[in-house]
């Protein structure tokens, strides 16, 4: 019997998958697209993502914890499924890869600006590969360790309290923004990652299924809590006017932390964000690996991973600048958001049809 | 499996060789600690960098570089031609701006500094009366490094709130906020010392007026809450001798109340509630008697109120909202009212009244 994930591990896994590179730009996106008190937008995002998680829990209940691939393969022909799997693999693989590349390009603004970014990208890919070959159970153990290694940074927000002023918030609700639809998609992308929990369903301990489902909500809620605290601090510390001008307000926050004997602590702190980004990348690649494995089940996992990562590494050569990577991430983000909603809906439909068609298969 | 594990290990080893082009060797770096910027008559920029010399065998403690260039960053390229060190700005702690440049506006320069990821938000912004480059180049007796001397001087004084601790963060934050104008400390060459001259007040990014250093604490009391400070209060004369009371360990709570009057006018009340210890009193009253002490509190608050009222009047005359009254007016309006209000036109006309409440917490250990 394969080892099962505990509810706590699921919550941590969901939170760690969700938090990643977007954290650096989120407060700015909120201020820029939504203007004053833009942080309020995080609340509907939390509700929407919670609704999406509700759909995922429905899949779990209706499918009795079976893997989504089994559910689909029971009722849909492979002629349709294989291209679909291929599509999922492509989107998840490239999305993960672009997140990794963005981290590298941002890192190079701070350090090693002229080194070839693909060298750093390779280092991250090697790390990701080493995690991926271990399988989801060991990955989740590592992720929990990473969680404890990074969560203390949340306490750094206390540093900004002395300069925090409520007066900077202004009483105006969402005034002075622009392109709100695009902004909403961009902000919602900060929540992405929870949708991969649909792939965790077969690893859920069936004796603790209720707690495990609650854990997905908990991971998402904790992320929202972190986002809201961070955005509140940013709005009260910088004010919306200044936030609009800062491209990476969280980098500036980190750079503001100064100790008498050391300047530019952000270089050190930025390193810790690698863990958050790495987990996001690894989880998307894990999802890509699962779906491609349905097409080529006989290929050994390490070999398959080498091929997948090789392809993704080649693709990551294409965008060269931060702006180009952003365009890729934004567009792929739309697709991933679409998958997040459509996939559980499709599965629920299939499951309902299977139910109607008689209990013979179940 | 063993071979598979070996591949990542070898790859990681190979990766270590990749960063050669970004190698930084501490001894070969010229880490700028203080930079000064002045506007020349031909509108070009005079930039002076002060780099501490770390070589223990060297007699000099700092290396100075000066050049005239068109922009902040092109100056660095010219400095590179003057020195055997690689000039980097990651350790900049202080930026000094000549008064002429400050009058023209610092916005563009602050913009350049903030864009550079190697420069942190905690870099100080200071205005220099006269030429900033000349001040930085001068060596003061008992201070080998003028840049560091100025930084320490301002650090210490801003801790006591007699001058604002203005860094790139505070300056750009207030510059980008529509309800407050930035301020910065202003220093000058006082012969054998660097002297803090006062607080420079900006209209958006342009230096417009100043208040003298001795009034700095009064300004601070009405700008924000305080946790530290000292104020010497002159209560007039008695028998030809000045009566001074020294208020130490100040704690202050500030409040701003905005009243909207008919005809779109505003009345603003600023309250400062001050607590402190009296460590010096040269008057004749017995301050250990509570009645006399209360009278003294009253006199102190009258003195502070009068000073503050005059200061606000000056600020209104020069149309600088350094106390951030605008942000409180804004917070009392709705969005449409605020955007249709031209705060710069309204501000000089509003009625501002300062109120002070003083509480003497203790009066030392001698009656």
Per-residue pLDDT of A124-149, as tens digits, reads: 999 999 999 999 999 999 999 999 99
What domains appear along chain B, each with residue ranges and CATH number? 27-223 (no CATH), 224-367 (3.30.300.210)
* B316: phi then psi, degrees, rounded to nearest 5: -70, -40
**Using CA atoms, how far apart are residues B180 and B30, in angstroms rounded to an integer?**
37
Q: Are B143 and B113 in contact (CB under 8 A)?
A: no
* Residue A221: predicted pLDDT: 96
By CB neighbour count within 10 A (0-12 exposed, 13-18 middle, 19+ buried), where does B156 fall? exposed
Q: What is the pLDDT of residue B18?
A: 65
Question: What does the pLDDT average to over A145-173?
Answer: 93
Distances in whole angstroms, Cα of residue A31 to Cα of each of A173, A232, B186, B254: 11, 11, 33, 28
Whether A262 has a pLDDT exceeding 80, the answer reads no
Strand order in the sheet with B124-128: B62-69, B45-52, B34-39, B94-98, B124-128, B183-189, B194-203, B206-212
Residue A170 contacts B where some CB pair is shorter than 8 Å: yes
A245 in contact with B at a CB cutoff of 8 Å? yes
Output the pLDDT for position A306: 95
Q: How far apart are CA A145 and CA A197, in angstroms?
A: 19
**Which residues are within 8 A (CB) of A294 and not within 5 positions of it... i.e. 6 or more apart?**
A69, A73, A81, A85
Q: List Cα–Cα distances, A216 to A9, A18, A92, A188, A201, in angstroms.
A: 10, 11, 20, 17, 11
- Reading phi first (left if > 0) and then psi (alpha if -120 to 50, else beta), residue A242 is in alpha
Chain A CA closest to residue B12: A123
ipTM of the complex: 0.88
- With vertex at residue A176, the alpha carbon angle to CA B346 and CA B345, rounded to the nearest 5 degrees, is 10
Q: What is the pLDDT of residue A359?
A: 53
Count interface pairs A-B at CB distance under 8 A.
87
Residue A112 touches chain B, beta carbons under 8 Å: yes
Indicate the residue of A113, A133, A241 with minimum beta-carbon distance to B176: A241
Q: With an 8 Å Cβ cutoff, are B91 and A256 in contact?
A: no
Q: Are strands B29-31 and B241-260 parallel, antiparallel or unpaired?
A: unpaired
pLDDT band with cut points at 50, 70 and 90 for residue A362: very low
pLDDT of residue B162: 87
Q: What is the mean pLDDT of residues A60-74?
A: 91
By percentage, how much of chain A surpasses pLDDT 70?
97
Question: Is residue A1's pLDDT more than 60?
Answer: no
Give chain A positions within 8 Å (CB) of B8. 126, 129-130
User: Residue B237's CB: how many other CB atoms inside 10 A?
Assistant: 9
User: How buried is residue B105: exposed, middle or buried, by Cβ count under 10 Å (0-12/13-18/19+)?
Assistant: middle
pLDDT of residue A141: 94
Chain B residue with Cα closest to A236: B173
Q: For chain A, which domains are there?
A: 7-356 (1.20.1740.10)
A12-35 confidence digits (pLDDT tens): 999 999 998 999 999 999 999 999
Instruction: Output DSSP code: residue B122.
Output: T
- Residue A38, CA distances (Å) to A34, A226, B82, B349 in order: 5, 15, 49, 33
Question: Is the CB of residue B215 less than 8 Å from the CB of residue B186?
Answer: no
Closest CB to A167 among B122, B170, B327: B327
**pLDDT score recorded for residue A361:** 47
In this complex, which of A110, A172, A258 lies closest to B122 when CB atoms are compared? A258
What does the alpha-carbon distance between residue A27 and residue B240 come to, in Å, rounded to a whole number?
61
In this prediction, what percent of chain A has a pLDDT beyond 90?
82
Series of mean pLDDT values for 10-residue runs along chain B (367 residues): 68 68 78 93 93 83 90 87 85 93 94 89 93 93 88 90 91 93 95 93 94 92 90 86 89 93 89 92 85 91 94 95 94 90 91 94 83
**Residue of chain B minimizing CA distance to A166:** B331
Q: Hey, are the CB atoms on A170 and B331 less than 8 Å from each other? A: yes
């Amino acid at each position: 019997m394969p080892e099962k994930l505990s509810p706590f591990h699921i919550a941590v896994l969901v939170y760690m998958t969700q938090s990643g590179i977007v954290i650096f730009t989120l407060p700015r996106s909120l201020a820029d697209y939504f203007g004053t008190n833009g942080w309020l937008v995080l609340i509907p995002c939390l509700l929407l993502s919670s609704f999406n998680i509700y759909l995922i829990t429905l899949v779990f209940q209706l499918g009795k914890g079976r893997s989504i691939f089994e559910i689909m393969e029971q009722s849909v022909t492979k002629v349709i499924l294989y291209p679909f799997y291929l599509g999922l693999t492509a989107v998840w693989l490239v999305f993960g890869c672009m997140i990794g590349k963005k981290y590298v390009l941002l890192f190079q603004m701070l350090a090693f600006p002229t080194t070839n970014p693909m060298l750093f990208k390779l280092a991250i890919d090697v790390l990701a590969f080493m995690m991926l070959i271990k399988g989801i159970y060991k990955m989740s153990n590592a992720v929990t360790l990473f969680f404890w290694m990074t969560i203390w940074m949340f306490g750094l927000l206390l540093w900004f309290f002395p300069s925090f002023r409520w007066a900077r918030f202004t009483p105006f609700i969402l005034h002075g923004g622009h392109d709100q639809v695009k902004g909403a998609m961009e902000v919602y992308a900060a929540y992405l990652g929870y949708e991969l929990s649909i792939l965790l369903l077969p690893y859920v301990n069936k004796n603790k299924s209720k707690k495990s489902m609650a854990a997905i909500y908990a991971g998402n809620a904790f992320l929202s809590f972190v986002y809201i605290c961070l955005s509140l601090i940013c709005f009260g510390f910088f004010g919306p006017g200044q936030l609009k001008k800062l491209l990476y307000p969280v980098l500036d926050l980190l750079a503001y932390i100064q100790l008498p004997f050391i300047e530019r602590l952000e270089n050190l702190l930025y390193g810790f964000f690698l863990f958050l980004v790495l987990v996001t990348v690894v989880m998307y690649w894990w999802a890509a690996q699962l779906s491609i494995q349905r097409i080529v089940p006989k290929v050994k996992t390490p070999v398959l991973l080498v091929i997948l990562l090789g392809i993704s590494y080649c693709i990551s050569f294409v965008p060269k600048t931060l702006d180009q990577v952003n365009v890729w991430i934004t567009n792929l983000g739309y697709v991933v958001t679409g998958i997040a909603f459509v996939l559980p809906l499709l599965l629920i439909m299939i499951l309902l049809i299977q139910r109607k068609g008689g209990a013979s298969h179940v | 499996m063993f071979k598979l594990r070996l591949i990542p290990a070898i790859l990681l080893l190979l990766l270590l060789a990749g960063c050669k082009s970004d190698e930084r060797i501490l001894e070969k770096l010229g880490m700028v600690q203080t930079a000064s910027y002045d506007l020349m008559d031909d509108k070009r920029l005079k930039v002076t960098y002060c780099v501490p010399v770390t070589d223990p065998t060297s007699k000099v403690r700092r290396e100075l570089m000066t050049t005239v260039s068109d922009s902040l960053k092109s100056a660095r390229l010219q400095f590179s031609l003057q020195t055997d060190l690689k000039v980097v700005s990651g350790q900049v702690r202080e930026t000094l701006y000549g008064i002429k440049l400050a009058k023209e506006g610092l916005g563009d320069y602050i913009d350049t500094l903030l864009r550079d990821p190697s420069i942190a938000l905690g870099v100080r912004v200071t205005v220099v009366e006269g030429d900033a480059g000349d001040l930085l180049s001068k060596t003061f007796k008992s201070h080998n490094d003028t840049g560091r001397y100025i930084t320490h001087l301002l650090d210490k004084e801003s801790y006591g709130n007699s001058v604002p601790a203005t860094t790139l963060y505070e300056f750009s934050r207030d510059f980008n906020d529509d309800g407050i104008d930035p301020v910065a400390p202003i220093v000058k060459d006082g012969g054998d010392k660097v002297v803090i001259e006062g607080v420079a007040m900006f209209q958006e990014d342009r230096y417009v007026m100043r208040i003298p250093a001795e009034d700095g604490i009064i300004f601070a009391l009405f700008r924000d809450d305080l946790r530290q400070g000292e104020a010497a209060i002159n209560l007039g004369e008695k028998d030809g001798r000045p009566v001074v009371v020294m208020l130490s360990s100040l704690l202050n709570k500030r409040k701003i109340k905005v009243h909207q009057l008919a005809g779109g006018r505003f009345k603003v009340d600023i309250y400062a509630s001050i607590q402190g210890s009296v460590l010096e009193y040269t008057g004749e009253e017995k301050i250990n008697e509570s009645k006399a002490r209360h009278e003294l509190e009253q006199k102190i608050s009258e003195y502070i109120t009068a000073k503050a009222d005059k200061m606000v009047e000056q600020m209104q005359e020069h149309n600088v909202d350094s106390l951030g009254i605008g942000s409180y007016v804004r917070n009392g309006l709705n969005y449409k009212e605020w955007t249709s209000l031209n705060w710069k036109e309204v501000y000089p006309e509003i009625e501002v009244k300062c109120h002070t409440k003083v509480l003497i917490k203790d009066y030392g250990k001698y009656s």
